[in-house]
Amino acid sequence: ESATAFGCLVSDMWLGEFDYVSPEAFHSIFEKRYPAFSRRTQHDAQEFLICVLDDLHEAFKEVRAQLQERVSPAAGASTRSLSGTSIITQLFEGQLSYAIRCLTCKALSNRPESFTVLSLPIPSTRVCSLQDCLECFFQPDLLTRNNQIHCYRCGGNQDATVKASITKAPQIIIFHLKRFAWQDKHRRKLSTTVCYPFSDLDLSPYISTLCCNNTEYSLCAVVNHAGDLDYGHYTAFCKHSVTKHWYSFDDAQVTKIPDSEVQADTAYLLFY
């Protein structure tokens, strides 16, 4: 079971008995369930992360449902209502709401959507900030031609505007910087320097007034990608939750690093 293997991996890391810990056992079990993530090919860290979170959610969700049944076998309805939640959803799941307004009759509708990772466009080829990426993601879009909506009030396809806002902010929010993009009919990696804050990341401009969650976040981890489309190397920077020191994880090399090194041009995933 991949959840058990993951638990052993985390336990080994926190026990501190080794200079480094290999995720070999976890990966060998995980790739049996997800053959696409075999050892012989390159993979995307964001896609792998989403699969791991989904897999752990399914495992923990099942355990929670079983425990509920043991405590109260007759409570079928409450068991089913709990089965959609887990420690993964409690920590990582947020919700967006897309406000869609018909430009003909001005009718407004809202479409909710859950997320665990927000994929942010990079609006520059040289230098930009994380706030620039967020502004680009949350700016209103115009839906025309093939993207028209079917308006429930007009009864036909109409041009519309759509604007996203966060209606539920997760405890841990993960940003995926979309470095692999199409340009001039060719897919390539953007090497843009994205400057991101270490603390006081304020998401209130993008959060609905209906949301009462905390809107300020601090950086706790970064996944880096060095290389190009078809080859590369992943490393990570992680902040110790107790000592507040930053560490670099580069295969078998685990080293303490100064805060100044955490801002990197290779950042691919940001955890706040």
Q: What is the pLDDT of residue 68?
A: 64
* Spans of the chain below 50 pLDDT: 74-83
HSE of 84 in the Cβ direction (CA atoms, 13 Å)? 6
Please give the pLDDT value at position 83: 47
What local confidence, expressed as pLDDT, does residue 116 receive?
A: 97
Percent of the chain whose predicted confidence (pLDDT) is above 70: 90
What is the per-residue pLDDT across 117-170, written as a single tens digit (0 to 9) for each? 999 999 998 999 999 999 999 999 999 999 999 999 998 999 999 999 999 999
pLDDT of residue 70: 61
**In degrees, to the nearest 5, what angle opens at C-alpha 39 toward C-alphas 38 and 43?**
70
Q: Are 198 and 261 in contact (CB under 8 A)?
A: no
Quote the pLDDT of residue 215: 77
What is the pLDDT at residue 71? 58
For residue 147, what pLDDT is reported?
95
pLDDT at 158 (0 to 100)? 97
Burial grade of 38 (CB within 10 A; 0-12, 13-18, 19 or more): exposed
Tokens at residue 160, please? 């519309």
The count of other CB atoms within 10 Å of the CB of residue 179 is 18
Each domain of the chain, given as residue ranges in start order, spans 1-72+79-92
Q: Could you read off the pLDDT of 64-84 as tens digits, one per residue?
A: 566 666 655 544 333 333 348
Which pLDDT value is given to residue 40? 72
> Hey, what amino acid is at 25?
A
Q: Measured between alpha carbons, how far is 87 from 57 in angstroms, rounded to an integer?
A: 7
Contacts of 21 (CB under 8 A, 6+ apart): 9, 12, 13
The pLDDT mean for the chain works out to 90
